[in-house]
Structure 1
Amino acid sequence: MNRDFSSLSGSYTFEELIAELCSALFTSVFVISENLQHNEYICLLLHILNYNSIAFFKAGWLKEKPVDYLSIEPTKE
């Protein structure tokens, strides 16, 4: 990731939000139904980001990149 650490807490929190959204999506795709706390952690991260809707939607968009990458079927040779 191209990281901007000029505002360390915001940048780190934003990266954590992307990672947590990816994790939540993967657990639903792979039907993992353990006692997970994605919603609580995502709410905490949004609170730290002052409920910035732009940050939330951008993180939602950016989470698609790793999800798409990991969803690609390996080519059979």
Structure 2
Amino acid sequence: MAKDGKRARWREAGEPLPDVDEYLFGSGLSLSDYTLSAEGVVSFRDKAGREFDLLIDHPQLEAAIKERLEALGAREAF
């Protein structure tokens, strides 16, 4: 995560993807903090209990995140 609290952006398709587990869980979130809806929307709950949709501006990273959350058994709703 960037110093200002925002997640880094990966705009170039040729850039290597970050480690998906580090991207998802590196800031202290766990699997129970994420949901993956049937429509493919990834949401997360921060430590204060607020819910957000995870906006991912890199198609390959988005696919990797969804695949990883599915493999881990992410639930569909909080």
- Could you state the TM-score of these two structures normalised by the residue count of structure 2? 0.34
Higher relative contact order (CA 8 A, sep 6+): 1
Q: Quick check: which one's strand share is greater?
A: 2
Q: Quick check: which one's helix share is greater?
A: 1
